[in-house]
Structure 1
Amino acid sequence: MTTPSLPESSPHQSSTPELARLTLGFIPLLDAALPVIARERGFFAEQGLDVSLSRENAWSTLRDKVAAGLLDGAHMLAPMPLAMSLGLGRAPCDTLAPITLSRNGNTLTLSPALADASGACLTENPAASARALGDWQRRTSPGRPLRLAMVYPFSCQHYLLREWLALDGLDPERDATLVALPPQRMVDALKTGEIDGFCAGEPWGSLARHQDIGRIVATGHQLWPDHPEKVLGVTRSWANRYPATLAALIRALTSAADWLAASPEHCLQARHWLALPPYLDRAVSHLPTLPLNAPPIQQRLTGLTMLRPDAISTARFAEPIDRHMKDDGRCLDQNTLAACYSPVHFDAATHP
């Protein structure tokens, strides 16, 4: 796989952003932290940017607004730029992921009734909880598919959920009904019995556990250690039109990550910002601080190697996307994959 070369027009660190004001979309999740920090701590402003953050209700809405130019970019599911570029779920729109915003951070959560009945619980081995659930399903309800939620068809959450079920031979098509719900709806849907469980990013799994509405039985880190989870997504046309603005965004987000890593007090302050009504509001009230690299979820938001995108680290979600395309008589184009997750914009922005 070849990495696209850096365009001759790529901006230097001193370039003035073409846009002074822009809007980035986000979904209320802990891994929206870097854009929130960059706005609240002033890192966007230091780069000459006035950035508004727009909370969106669903990943499909966020996706369509970026494609239509109603948002300049967004906090996106890591597979989304690839799915958009390939025309999966909507008309094709070449989209790039010039910086990674998080790794890990997902939980697989079941209702207390189902977890207790099956004996599924969180251990060091995610196959144990899958076996417990599978044994219970075959023993008591072989004809009743489990109703499990993920956040978007082309998401790590969807693929993690399928892989976890398969650890004990459960067939996601036969033994479960998989539905897409916005992450912020998961806890209420579990409480009302609309779903039996879900796979979603934080803070929704730990909130369900805190309220005794759900039990965490496995984590994304256990299944796919250190996988890219969220990225900044921008269309290729936007990146080509505003290269200095993109470089400024990358530098601001990198500064936010450096600041977050500098001290535990910064994690506490970041949690306070996320608790503001425009962002996650009361959804983070159960968290004493912003957890980083804490077991069992091991969410990563800091570190240069975490932030720098690369196509190789996308293999875990590229493979199921390729299988999906082959079912439709297509195959994943490796050049498209390499272009979506190329580090050239990141390297240009962060190296003089």
Structure 2
Amino acid sequence: MLKSLAAGSTAALLTLALTGCSLFFASPPSAVGGLGGEPTDFAREDIPSEYLALYQSAATSQKCAIPWAILAGIGKVESDHGRWPGPGITSGHNAWGAAGPMQFGALDGSAAGNSWGGQPIMATADRPDQGWGMDGDDDGTVSVYHPADAIPAAANYLCDHGADGGTLDAYRNAIYGYNHAWWYVDEVMDYARRYARSLEAASGVAAQAIAWATAQVGVYYRWGGTCTDPRLPGDIPAGQRDGNNSWIHNCDCSSLMRAAYEYAGVTIGGYTGDQVHDGVQVSLDDIQPGDLIFSAALQAPGVPRHVVMYIGSGQTVHAPSTGRAIEIVSDGRHLDPGWVGQVRRVAGAG
């Protein structure tokens, strides 16, 4: 809830190289954004196994069904899944009166209030009627510091604050009810997208564009390249420009997107300043494989510095910069709300 500013601070904006422009997994269902899918590799590396199991269990065992990745996103932002060393995670309270890995308000008269209800640790028989504290593991104790109690309690809190509506808007509003800050909602959703694999396979035009773009992984970036005949690693030593344009057929960020969609039978602009107007704009929460993500950073007015293609499960494919090769990025950096300027849907845009 009301959390320490030092714990889970807002993700920093990623720096873009001036030279940057900028398999295949599934498309999230529109209702839940794919957030109930299997854990990504990033999720398994970042979330302790005990916590992951609790997030997944609480997602389907409480008052309403809620994507497990949203619970995990809250746990990450609030306490780094119980690992943050600050006050109020394993004992006591933070400066606002919040406590435990899910940072419930647990102190009467504090800024955070006492949404837990009763004492931070109490016998199950002593739990008052008000509040969301619960004995999640039936051990006879209700403890705000015990993830087996705090995580299902957080799920119920979200359900009681609108998550039972089952839509992305409902989830976002429920998260806002958990901590009244939209930057917090964005950060939780960013981690949720990175944690869960999408649930449906891309098809049609998007699938073809993804297949072509990912087949170019390892091809060196060429600034201003047309991407008409990409060559494999070694053709341009270290990816350097040559004096006679003999490797102009390699790809930069925007020509990779153009060529991928050309392969799929769709014509889009040749550089980011045109592509940012192609198709239709969609929200980051509604992103689907095949969508193009444009950086908030600009190289000129109205011209994004970089563009990448979302391929599902928090992954993107892009041509990064001179000296580097086309790559798949799995750490979710291109889904950070601070990085994203705009998302455009080219496939099926009508």
TM-score (norm 1): 0.26
- Larger C-alpha radius of gyration, 1 or 2? 2
Q: Which has the higher helix share?
A: 1
